Structure 1
């Protein structure tokens, strides 16, 4: 294996199509695509200062490495990459890439990151930026702390554990999403999604959980969540708290501690198709 130690490169494509190399303590300065088309690269304790560091690469490990702000659109069309203990200031870091493992990484500007990617594993990652994970699929997440709106729009086959999302319009237009033991804070959660399961989650969402087909909830708490379940169908929800208000669910069952206000407009939905059960009789019903 070829070794690069404590070196500095600049200019366009300085290590184009490099293969079977270990790169340590190296800085890639001004110049696009320093490792484009690379193969079998072991990269550690290095710095990328410019655009498009790892395009069309395969079989790459990146450890303790910094991607500065101008190193945006850094990893596109790449397959089989592991990134561990990295600090990423750049946006748009992953696009149309496959088999990605991200561990103990920090993305300070994660806007438009992880778009159209697949087979992703995220473990103890912090990210700040909107449109994270758009149109990606086959994703396993454990301990993701994400701040930024429109997270995972259009994602499919997502499993989440022990995570925190501060994001409005999260999980829109998704299919097959299961979230365990997590906290979600943000307006308009999960509209237009199919097959959403939430287990042991705490949720605060203005007009959250609407327009969903097949929604399952177990041991969840809804904090100040109003106008929930509008036009949802095939609901199976067990809520361990009060719901501020429920509006026009299409079908299924909702069991909660109490519901502050239940709105069932018979000109919009058939109330008989939804079973509402509360543990305390505090529900105030409105016909519209």
Structure 2
């Protein structure tokens, strides 16, 4: 493997079509597409501030690196990435990629990040600011997610999250096959129009959560006192620990909680309108 160390590159495609290349303490400055149409690349202790540095790259490792704000759209149309201990300050990262493994990565401008990616494995991932991360992603597994970006996980399939703390709005819309464990989800309009969503040991905050959902399952979950109009038009089976303030117009299923503030079933409820709602005291 060729080694390039302690150098600076800029301009148009300075390392175009490089293969079997290791970069150490290298800076990629002003310019575009520095590492394009490449394979078997390693970058350690490198800094990127030029545009589009990693496009059409196959099999690459990024370790202890930094992407400045100017390195927008840095990783597109690429595959088999291992990224560790890296800070990203640029938007629109990770587009049309597959087989990504990330460990201890912080993204400070997550605007339009992770779009149409498949097979994402991540541990200790942080996403801040921006909108619509993880649009149209498939096969996502993350253990340790901290996220305050808006509209996260829209139109995703086959997602598994553990130990997540997500503060957002309109998250998990029109998703399918989602499992979330031991997590905190704070935001309005959670998982509307979703299918096969399962929440286990989660704490939920926000208004009008979990509506228009099909095959929604909650196990040992808790709700903040601010939650109301929950489960409207959903097919749900929910085991709620503690109190839930308001349940409105669930279509079918079974909901049990320690206590319920109020239940709204009005003329707008959708058929089959056979959801059983009860407290643990009611069912003995």
Give the TM-score of the pair, scaled to structure 1. Answer: 0.95
Query: Deviations for 1:154-185, whole angstroms, at most 9, x for unmatched residues?
Result: 01000010110001111001000000000000
Query: Deviations for 1:208-265, whole angstroms, at most 9, x for unmatched residues?
Result: 11010000100000112110000001x1100002111011000000001111110001
Q: Of 228, 231, 240, which residue of structure 2 is paired with 1:229?
A: 231
Give how far 1:268 is off: 2.8
Alpha-carbon distance in structure 1 between the residues aligned to 2:273 and 2:189: 26
Give how far 1:270 is off: 4.8
Partner of 2:166: 165
Partner of 2:148: 147
How has the CA–CA distance of structure 1 residues 272 and 23 changed in structure 2, closer, same or farther, with 3 Å as cutoff?
Answer: closer
More strand by share: 2
Partner of 2:214: 213
SS in 2 for 1:86: strand
Report 1:10-49 matches (<5 A). Answer: 10-49=10-49
Alpha-carbon distance in structure 2 between the residues aligned to 1:178 and 1:39: 34
SS in 2 for 1:257: strand
Partner of 2:241: 240
Partner of 1:73: 73
Alpha-carbon distance in structure 2 between the residues aligned to 1:160 and 1:262: 30
For structure 2, the 5+ residue unaligned runs are none
Alpha-carbon distance in structure 2 between the residues aligned to 1:152 and 1:16: 34
Report 1:76-91 matches (<5 A). Answer: 76-91=76-91
Report 1:166-185 matches (<5 A). Answer: 166-185=167-186
SS in 1 for 2:41: strand
Alpha-carbon distance in structure 1 between the residues aligned to 2:132 and 2:169: 10
Instruction: Assess if the C-alpha contact under 8 Å between 2:107 and 2:128 holds in 1.
Output: yes
Partner of 1:188: 189
How has the CA–CA distance of structure 1 residues 16 and 151 changed in structure 2, closer, same or farther, with 3 Å as cutoff?
Answer: same
Instruction: Assess if the C-alpha contact under 8 Å between 1:264 and 1:271 holds in 2.
Output: no
Alpha-carbon distance in structure 2 between the residues aligned to 1:269 and 1:189: 20
Report 1:120-135 matches (<5 A). Answer: 120-129=120-129, 130-135=131-136
Instruction: Assess if the C-alpha contact under 8 Å between 1:123 and 1:143 holds in 2.
Output: yes
For structure 1, the 5+ residue unaligned runs are 282-288
Partner of 2:2: 2
Instruction: Assess if the C-alpha contact under 8 Å between 2:249 and 2:268 holds in 1.
Output: no
Alpha-carbon distance in structure 2 between the residues aligned to 1:168 and 1:85: 28
Alpha-carbon distance in structure 1 between the residues aligned to 2:245 and 2:148: 25
Give how far 1:132 is off: 1.0
- Does 2:101 correspond to 1:101? yes
How has the CA–CA distance of structure 1 residues 267 and 171 changed in structure 2, closer, same or farther, with 3 Å as cutoff?
Answer: closer
Q: Bigger CA drift: 150-159 or 120-129?
A: 120-129
Partner of 2:139: 138
Alpha-carbon distance in structure 2 between the residues aligned to 1:280 and 1:210: 26
SS in 2 for 1:277: strand
